[in-house]
Amino acid sequence: PLPPRLFFEAVEQSPVAISITDHKAAILYANRAFETLTGYGREEVLGQNESILSSNATPQSVYQQLWRTIQRKETWTGTLVNRTKAGLDYLAELIISPVLDRDGDLQYFLGMHRDATKVH
Ligand code: FAD
């Protein structure tokens, strides 16, 4: 069996920004790429809502669609306009998937995103 340490290091060193949140999007874990991309150190984001990454440019309807999807325990993919700590906006290509417990109830959300600004 693969040791848990290997899972941790793989997630930690992933080039994709990865975060794990509670059911209300409060951040419980963020990997190194998350820190690099957003400019926030993980100690600053722990306990904060993912909405700290929100710019004013994403319509409310997109967030509503996102929440409807993930609360149905489905995976949401989409693009949001995020803002770094330094105030720079970037296009975040995001995947949010539910993490269920043994009973099939929502436990955590897994967020993965990359900067899609430079894709053309
Ligand atoms: P709000 O006014 O708080 O919310 C906008 C709308 O979203 C509301 O009208 C409501 O319909 C819905 N909503 C918000 N919170 C909840 C809730 N707890 N339950 C049900 N419906 C709700 N947002 C980003 O902008 N960038 C990200 O990179 C990002 N990553 C995320 C990763 C994960 C794993 C999760 C779970 C969420 C992520 N979000 C992200 C969404 C974020 O948590 C906020 O909902 C979003 O940023 C809008 O926040 P707001 O304060 O601007 O608007």
Instruction: Tell me, yes or no, whether 70 lies in a domain.
Output: yes
Domain total for the chain? 1
Instruction: Tell me, yes or no, whether 46 lies in a domain.
Output: yes
- Quick: pLDDT tens for 29-74: 999 999 999 999 999 999 999 999 999 889 999 999 999 999 999 9
Instruction: Tell me, yes or no, whether 66 lies in a domain.
Output: yes
CA–CA distance, 23 with 115 (Å, rounded to integer): 24
* Mean pLDDT within 91-112: 97
* Mean pLDDT within 5-16: 96
Nearest atom, ligand 1, residue 24 CA: 18
Instruction: Tell me, yes or no, whether 80 lies in a domain.
Output: yes
- What is the distance in A from the centroid of ligand 1 to the CA of 50? 7
The answer to whether 48 and 64 are in contact (CB under 8 A) is: no
CATH number, residue 32: 3.30.450.20
What average pLDDT is seen over the chain? 96
In sequence order, which ranges of the chain are alpha helices (DSSP H)?
4-12, 32-38, 42-45, 60-71
Question: Is the Cβ atom of 25 under 6 angstroms away from ligand 1?
Answer: yes
CA distances from 34 to 18, 59, 97, 105 (A): 6, 23, 17, 27
Instruction: Tell me, yes or no, whether 11 lies in a domain.
Output: yes
Two tokens at 116?
Answer: 């899609």
Confidence of residue 120 (pLDDT cuts 50, 70, 90): low
Instruction: Tell me, yes or no, whether 99 lies in a domain.
Output: yes
Domain coverage including residue 79: 4-115
pTM summary value: 0.95
CA–CA distance, 15 with 36 (Å, rounded to integer): 10
Instruction: Tell me, yes or no, whether 120 lies in a domain.
Output: no
The proportion of the chain whose per-residue pLDDT surpasses 90, expressed as a percent, equals 93
Q: Which of 29, 67, 75, 90 to mutate to test the pocket of ligand 1 (most atoms within 8 A of CB)?
A: 67
Instruction: Tell me, yes or no, whether 35 lies in a domain.
Output: yes
Quick check: 90 pLDDT over 70?
A: yes
Please report the pLDDT score of residue 119 as a whole number. 59
Q: Is 52 helix (H, G, I), strand (E, B) or coil?
A: helix
